[in-house]
A = this chain, B = another copy of it.
Amino acid sequence: MTPRPPTPPAHPAGAPDPSGSDRDDLRRRNLAAVLHAVHLRDGSTRADLTRETGLHRSTVRALVAELVRAGIVTEDLAAPSGGVGRPSPRVHATDATRVLTLHPELDATHGALVGLGGRVLARARVPHDAPPTPDDALAAARELRDRLAPTGPLRGVGVAAPGLVDRRTGNVVVAPHLGWRDVPLGPLLAAALDAPVTVDNDANCGVVAEALFGAGRGARAVVYLNGGASGIGGSAADGGVLTVGAHGFGGEIGHTLVRSDGHPCHCGADGCLETEVSRARLLAALGDVPASELEPTLARVVAARPSTALAEIDRQLGYLGVALRTVVNVLNPERIVLGGFLAALVRTRGTAALDAHLARALPGARDDARVVTAALGADLLAVGAAQLVLRDVLADPLSTGR
């Protein structure tokens, strides 16, 4: 394969950009198809890959050989599969493809090293005494890079930022809790770490992770709603690809109208979902228990007799249902993945209240929608942020990424 210039960034997702393809593109696409299959199911046999790609045995052999030569995958000759015929070697992703992920938060910046298949290889965190400034975040990023990946190649850096992000430029338009406005985080980090950087909203990272490796696995359209300390983040994906509009600002289901005479929201509007459904109000209704005690307390309240606390639980679930009805009508998701305290609400109180609202969505859409709780735990954002970088790696496996 002829060496090509800096690798054009894979097609800006979604656009049916039917540009022509040369033979290198063909090879690249087939390498990508093979590696993608390994990414989604590590340890696939070469015969599996032949079936999944539809390519010829000899072609798959050559493609895998090239990936082996590049050090991206290995072939495992011990293959005691269960079937007639000559056994097929299993193909495993190596740890050579490594992505650094970053997630700046109020009290700390979290880092992780993630490989193909969404495998988290290492984790670390840099605590912050005060909300980090952009400079603090850059310093934390350098430290995390040095601790997690002091040597060896890094295919890229994926950042899950708690705010509105222009995913094409890596610009953080606003991150309310951090107090950031118009911070070109992507370019800053790219310069600081000397590596390709992808920045996206944390909810966007979350939905991609859940869609590919979590509770949304196998579903087409997936909606993700996360209940956090400071609000409700949301995002949407279809087939593992974000469906969040022109600049990726969409998916903000937390600011759906649920109540005409509702309280003013910090966003400037009134009656948003996240003014009616909030962790703070829930904790208050539960008697100001600490956030760590939320779910056990919810379980106790639900098990006991009706109470004002239970009324608050049901009130919040009711408004969540109102928002979800609109969301189902507009997005027709197959899965609605709830995280954070929203998941705790549903796990302890059930989905009956939500289902009652969803039953009033339009026919068709209401029959597709299923409410589930998030399956990925603490690694959610790391897996999602890594996937944003890995998508480019998968699209062009042999590019060096530099």
Residues of chain A touching chain B, judged by Cβ–Cβ distance below 8 Å, are: 14-23, 25-26, 29-30, 32-34, 36-37, 52-55, 59, 164, 166, 173-174, 219-221, 234, 236, 238-241, 243-253, 255-261, 267-269, 271, 322, 325-327, 329-334, 360-365, 368, 394
Contacts and interface: CB of A to CB of B under 8 A. Distances in A.
A329 B20 contact: no
Contact of A166 (B34, B331, B364): B364
A258 B256 contact: no
Contacts of A52: 16, 18-19
Given A260-B259, A268-B360, A29 B37 contact: no
Nearest to A220: B246
Contacts of A258: 257, 260
Q: Considering residues A20, A34, A249, A362, which has the most beta carbons from chain B within 10 angstroms of its beta carbon?
A: A20
B33 A249 contact: no
B20 A23 contact: no
B55 A18 contact: yes
B332 A245 contact: yes
Contact of A248 (B32, B271, B322, B332): B332
Contacts of A267: 360, 362
A234 B332 CA distance: 13
Contacts of A255: 326, 329, 361-362
A9 to B, nearest CB: 15
A335 to B, nearest CB: 9
A291 B16 CA distance: 39
Given A18-B37, A19-B33, A251-B332, 16 more contacts: A18-B29, A164-B363, A173-B363, A221-B250, A245-B333, A245-B334, A249-B332, A249-B368, A250-B330, A250-B332, A253-B330, A256-B329, A257-B257, A258-B260, A267-B362, A326-B326
A334 B246 contact: yes
A331 B16 contact: no
Given A26-B26, A326-B257, A368-B245, A252 B53 contact: no
A249 B362 contact: yes
Contact of A15 (B220, B250, B364, B394): B220
B329 A330 contact: no
A32 to B, nearest CB: 6
Closest 8 CB pairs of A and B: A18-B54, A245-B332, A20-B53, A250-B332, A19-B33, A20-B55, A249-B364, A15-B239
Contacts of A243: 238, 243
A183 B388 CA distance: 41
